[in-house]
Structure formats: structure tokens, C-alpha cells
């Protein structure tokens, strides 16, 4: 007797409508008997304007926690922060098996070593191109070219159909290191039968094909050869192909490579151990930088996204203990600026230019290429795989929409556009959203995890806009003021437009309001505090046009 077909479902819990914070889940079965497979667990990064004080943004994993007993495991497609960066913080709430290739596992281990108190995370290392079982899911890795070694698509086979989850990828015939995208395996999947393709949308708005990493190598080599003074190159620490490209350019120009920045050091060590930098001379430490002639050095630095504590930021401010640049030196930004980081990056670029350095970016030279596919590459993949259903992920709304339009134009029978939390039933001829899972975000605030709907960040925004007023005084049991009130203004102008001190305004309002209260009301400290708070905010707003946060502390003695 044939077994009844089990529902195959998919839901993004992060990475849709945004770039970053990737987390996807696949389910097989029905109701409480559904088994789940998680793919990736990434972060986004906060910025001071929209999320003051927030270091990282994590996907909400309430659904995974609630289904932990049915969660077969987590597979990491590659070691970019937006795909694996939340694992160290969130794994203790899940404690599930984790599967990763050797490079990704090594990057995770190094990340754990760099974070005090990080949990021990058992990782099952799976080899490139391998096929293995995770619960009821039959998973096969597909090598995909990307801007980091060992990026993988996943072929997820189930009794209810086969899904290709692309991860991050491009079609690069000359990727400098690592494998090219495995066209043979993808074509074979198309012949076998692909129910659904869940695909990267990052560059779906761009025509043509993404340039090759080898093209970047030619440009950087020419720039390094023609430089007269020192050369500094900044890129993502995880972009091992770019590190190799820069190192080969340095060797062609008879220069030595100096690695500057802990994250860069960590990646270089892992890349050496796994053979990705074979054939290149050993790199020098920062201590050697000062002893090398200016025309004999290339410094590879962290800080391509304007991070204030990264190497290039400190160099630009002349605060780095070992590395300095001088007028006429060349700085190459070999990375795309992540949306939201533009101001921080421009601050560094302007600082370097003001000091007389020459700065090269991808606005004028091909010193960076994306690791994601443009429209012709997406079309080619669809032609190989022939999916019955396509779901665009990994992109903002515009990217997702353009990916969907392209798929329809190419004749994909069903295209389902989703938002984070949408649960899609993957069945040929009737693929649709059938439910909604809990989805949202959490903030890492220092060492603490904060729910996004808490008042913490909202209060900080208000403080940054209108400051705060603090008032404190003590009352006797009879409701009499024991001493003069204490007033403190934070972020409030010293004087109003008529020249009156805001301190005096607040002080006078406190005394007037207290004096006008009936004796019985004065005996209620909460009522006194609320009356004073309302009056102070109104008075400051009347003279300033802004309502500060106001705290009134009334003690009974």
C-alpha cells in the first residue's frame, strides 16, 4: 500500500525584503508530525541612525525553538556573516546538529575562539559535492562560484519533490580559487526533475553577467605595478579569492603583502591551512610594515565597510600603532559598500583624500565584482534546472519583484512571491502560501539580546532627538518638600531663543506645579511626579518646539 504523500513546505524567516539575516526552513509532513530542516542562520548589522547602540540584528527563531524536537538540523551554505553570523549567539537556544564544509567549519571555529564565552557547537563536516541525510531530507551539495570558498547550493530531495536552494552564487568561469559553478550537476537535476528553485535575487535588477574575479585581478595588478609609494587594499576579510588576487598582484610588482587586522589574520590562517593560498609567499605581520620600503609593500586591511575599530579606519585617523600612510600613497577599496554603511565609508575616504592619498573605488575602476548573478546568469540557471516553481529570496522588494518577472518571462509555470514568515506549500500546480510562521528580528545590544518590540531602541531614538530632563525631590509624610528640587538637563539647549536658561524654566515649573497642588494630592508621590512631568514637558516644548523625555523621581522620607 502506497504511503500518502507528505506536504513539502518552505518558509523564509529572514533574508526576504532585505539583504542579510538569512534563515530558511523546509518542512516535510503535516501538523505536529512535520520534520524541519533549517538553512543558514545569518545576521544584519545595525547603524547608529536607525538603531542606536545595536550591534547586530538577528532573525526571530521562535518557530525553530517551538519545533526544536522536530528540527532535524541546520545546514550552512557558506561562511558569510549574513548566512552564519548568528549561530554562535542563537545555537544555545536550539542545540541542533550543524552541517558545514571544511572552510565554513574552520571559520566558525575561529569565530567562536574570538568571542569569550562562546558555546561549544558540534559541527558535522561534509565534503564538497557530498550527499547526506538530515532526518528525512536527502541533501546534496552543489559547488557554486561566489566571493568566498566553498559556497554551496543545496539539492534537497524528499518523497514529495526536489528543491534547489541556491544560496549565494554566480557563473564565474575564472573564479581565481575554488570550483566554478557545477553546471553538470545542475543540468542533471533539471533532467531528474526539479519541483522548486529558491533563488538568490541580489542582482536581478542588473542586465548581463557579473564580471569575473580574474578581471579584477588584471585591474588591481596594473594599479599596484604603477604605484610609486605604499599600497593599501581593503576588502571583506572572508573574500579569500580577493586576498589571493591582491597577493598575486603584489608578487607581480615585486612587493610583499602585510596583513593588517585580526579578522584578516584569522581568514589568512584558515585559507593557508586548507590550501587556498598555496603557491604564494608567506604574508608578513604588521610589525614588519615599518621596515619595508614604501615601493615594496602592499597592506591588506580590514575596514572596507567603515567599521570604526577596523584597521583602515585607524590608519585614516593616524591612530594605528604599526601602519601609517603618507601623501601620494594608494588606497584601493576592493569591496561593495553595504547599504547603510555609505556615510561611514565616505568618512574614511574623505579623510584619506584630505591627507593627500589617492583613493580608488569601484566607481572608477573594476576593483570589485559582485558574488551574485545578474539576469543572464539567472536565466541560464533556470534553463538548466527547469523548475516547476520559483521563489525569489535574498533581496529587497525591488530585487525580488524583478526576479519574479524574469522567471515568468522565461516560462516558469508558478512563481510565488513571499515575505518573511510566509509558509509555502510546494506542490506542482497549486503552490501557494498556506500559513504564516512567527517572523521578526532581535537585536544584540552589547552582550544582551533584546526583543525588537521593546522600548529600548525607541527610547534611544527619542533621546537622540530631544534629550532628557531629570527632576528629583523628596517629600515628607505630610506632603511637604523637604529640600529644593534637583534638576538635570541632558541634550537640551542651555538657553531658549529669548536667552532664558532652560534650567530656570524647569525649576520654576516644578515649584509652581507643586505649589498649586491640593495638600491631599501632594501626599501621593506618583500623582505629584506625573503632574510635574506633564508640566515640564509642556513648558520645554513651548519654548523649544521639542518634547524631551522627562523623568521625575519623588521620594517620601
Domains with residue ranges and CATH for the chain: 8-208+370-451 (3.60.15.10), 213-360 (3.40.50.10710), 467-556 (3.10.20.580)
pLDDT bucket at 455, cuts 50 / 70 / 90: low
pLDDT at 31 over 90: no
Residue 477 has pLDDT above 90, yes or no: no
Q: Which three cell numbers stand for residue 56?
A: 547586530
Under the banding of pLDDT at 50, 70 and 90, the label for residue 69 is very high
The CA–CA distances, whole Å, from 61 to 23, 369, 451, 454, 523 equal 9, 33, 11, 17, 48
170: confidence class by pLDDT, cuts 50, 70, 90: very high
Helix, coil or strand: residue 80: coil
Residue 447 has pLDDT above 80, yes or no: no
- Which percentage of the chain shows pLDDT scores above 70? 95
Question: pLDDT at residue 67 above 60?
Answer: yes
> Over 60: is that where the pLDDT of 48 sits?
no
Asked if pLDDT for residue 1 goes beyond 50, the answer is: no
* pLDDT value at residue 30: 83
Average pLDDT, the chain: 92
> Can you tell me which residue has the cell 533539471?
190
Cell of 57: 540584528
How many C-beta atoms lie closer than 10 Å to residue 392's C-beta? 27
Alpha-carbon distances of 183 from 153, 180, 189, 213, 460, rounded to whole Å: 12, 8, 10, 18, 50
Distance CA 108, CA 396 (A): 27
Alpha helices in 80-182 (DSSP H): 81-84, 87-90, 102-113
What are 215-270's pLDDT values in tens digits? 999 999 999 999 999 999 999 999 999 999 999 999 999 999 999 999 999 999 99
What is the C-alpha separation between 31 and 207, in angstroms, rounded? 43
More confident: 187 or 514: 187
Other beta carbons within 10 angstroms of residue 218's beta carbon come to 13
Rg (CA), the chain: 28
Angstrom distances, CA of residue 458 to CA of 49, 249, 451, 468, 538? 12, 48, 12, 14, 21
Residue 2 has pLDDT above 50, yes or no: no
For residue 443, pLDDT over 90 is answered with no
d(CA 77, CA 37) in angstroms, rounded, equals 13
Q: Which range, of 196-200, 401-405, 500-504, averages the lowest pLDDT?
A: 500-504
All residues at 6 or more sequence positions from 252 whose CB lies less than 8 Å from its CB, including other chains: 221, 224, 225
The tens digit of pLDDT for each residue in 82-104 reads 999 999 999 999 999 999 999 99
339/425: higher pLDDT: 425
Nearest-angstrom CA–CA distance, 74 and 61: 13
Query: What's the confidence (pLDDT) of residue 177?
Result: 86
Report long-range pairs for 479-488 (Cβ below 8 Å, ≥24 apart).
Answer: 479/519, 479/520, 479/521, 479/522, 479/523, 480/522, 481/514, 482/557, 485/510, 485/511
What is the helix, strand, coil percentage profile of the chain, to 5?
35, 25, 40
β-partners of residue 141 are: 154
Question: What does the pLDDT average to over 304-330?
Answer: 92
**405, 170 Cβ separation under 8 angstroms:** no
Q: Could you tell me if 334 and 367 are in contact, meaning their C-beta atoms sit under 8 angstroms apart? A: yes
Q: Are 316 and 217 in contact (CB under 8 A)?
A: no
What are φ and ψ of residue 42, in 5° steps? Answer: -105, 175
Look at residue 452 in the predicted model and tell me its pLDDT: 65
Q: Are 380 and 181 in contact (CB under 8 A)?
A: no
In the three-class reduction of DSSP (H, G, I as helix; E, B as strand; rest coil), residue 330 is classed as strand
Amino acid at each position: 500500500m502506497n504511503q500518502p504523500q507528505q506536504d513539502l513546505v518552505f518558509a523564509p524567516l529572514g533574508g526576504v525584503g532585505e539583504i542579510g539575516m538569512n534563515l530558511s526552513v523546509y518542512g516535510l509532513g503535516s501538523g505536529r508530525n512535520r520534520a524541519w530542516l533549517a538553512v543558514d542562520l545569518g545576521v544584519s548589522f545595525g547603524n547608529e541612525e536607525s538603531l542606536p547602540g545595536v550591534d547586530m540584528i538577528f532573525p526571530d527563531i521562535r518557530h525553530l525553538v517551538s519545533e526544536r524536537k522536530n528540527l532535524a538540523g541546520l545546514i550552512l551554505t557558506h561562511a558569510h556573516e549574513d548566512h552564519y553570523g548568528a549561530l554562535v549567539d542563537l545555537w544555545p537556544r536550539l542545540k541542533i546538529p550543524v552541517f558545514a564544509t571544511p572552510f565554513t567549519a574552520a571559520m566558525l571555529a575561529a569565530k567562536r575562539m574570538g568571542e569569550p564565552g562562546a558555546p561549544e557547537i558540534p559541527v558535522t563536516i561534509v565534503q564538497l559535492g557530498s550527499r547526506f541525510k538530515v532526518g528525512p531530507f536527502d541533501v546534496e551539495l552543489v559547488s557554486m562560484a561566489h566571493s568566498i570558498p566553498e559556497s554551496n547550493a543545496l539539492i534537497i530531495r524528499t518523497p514529495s519533490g526536489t528543491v534547489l536552494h541556491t544560496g549565494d552564487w554566480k557563473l564565474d568561469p575564472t573564479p581565481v580559487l575554488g570550483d566554478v559553478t557545477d553546471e553538470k550537476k545542475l543540468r542533471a537535476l533539471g533532467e531528474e526533475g526539479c519541483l522548486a528553485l529558491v533563488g538568490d535575487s541580489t542582482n536581478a535588477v542588473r542586465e548581463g553577467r557579473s564580471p569575473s574575479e580574474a578581471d579584477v585581478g588584471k585591474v588591481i595588478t596594473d594599479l599596484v605595478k604603477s604605484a610609486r609609494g605604499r599600497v593599501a587594499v581593503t576588502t571583506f576579510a572572508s573574500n579569500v579569492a580577493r586576498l589571493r588576487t591582491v597577493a598575486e598582484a603584489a608578487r607581480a610588482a615585486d612587493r610583499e603583502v602585510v596583513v593588517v587586522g585580526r579578522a584578516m589574520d584569522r581568514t589568512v590562517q584558515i585559507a593557508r591551512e586548507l590550501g587556498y593560498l598555496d603557491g604564494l609567499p608567506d604574508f608578513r605581520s604588521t610589525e614588519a610594515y615599518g621596515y619595508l620600503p614604501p615601493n615594496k609593500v602592499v597592506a591588506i586591511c580590514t575596514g572596507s565597510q567603515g567599521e570604526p575599530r577596523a584597521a583602515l579606519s585607524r590608519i585614516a585617523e593616524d591612530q594605528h600603532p604599526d601602519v601609517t600612510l603618507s601623501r601620494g600613497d594608494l588606497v584601493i577599496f576592493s569591496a561593495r559598500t553595504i547599504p547603510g554603511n555609505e556615510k561611514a565609508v565616505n568618512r574614511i575616504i574623505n579623510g584619506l583624500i584630505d591627507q593627500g592619498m589617492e583613493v580608488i573605488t569601484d566607481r572608477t575602476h573594476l576593483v570589485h565584482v559582485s558574488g551574485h548573478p545578474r539576469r543572464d546568469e539567472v536565466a541560464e540557471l533556470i534553463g538548466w534546472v527547469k523548475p516547476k516553481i520559483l521563489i525569489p529570496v535574498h533581496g529587497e522588494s525591488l530585487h525580488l519583484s524583478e526576479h519574479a518577472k524574469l522567471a515568468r518571462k522565461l516560462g516558469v509555470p508558478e512563481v510565488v512571491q513571499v515575505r518573511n514568515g510566509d509558509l509555502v506549500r510546494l506542490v506542482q500546480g497549486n503552490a501557494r502560501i498556506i500559513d504564516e510562521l512567527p517572523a521578526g528580528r532581535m537585536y544584540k545590544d552589547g552582550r544582551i539580546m533584546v526583543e525588537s518590540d521593546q522600548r529600548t531602541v525607541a527610547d534611544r531614538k527619542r533621546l537622540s532627538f530631544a534629550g532628557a530632563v531629570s527632576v528629583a525631590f523628596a517629600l515628607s509624610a505630610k506632603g511637604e518638600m523637604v529640600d529644593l528640587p534637583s534638576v538635570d538637563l541632558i541634550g537640551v539647549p542651555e538657553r531658549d531663543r529669548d536667552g532664558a536658561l532652560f534650567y530656570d524654566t524647569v525649576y520654576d515649573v516644578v515649584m509652581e506645579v507643586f505649589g498649586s497642588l491640593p495638600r491631599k494630592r501632594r501626599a501621593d508621590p506618583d500623582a505629584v511626579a506625573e503632574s510635574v512631568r506633564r508640566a515640564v514637558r509642556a513648558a520645554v516644548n513651548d519654548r523649544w518646539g521639542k518634547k524631551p523625555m522627562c523623568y521625575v523621581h519623588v521620594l517620601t522620607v
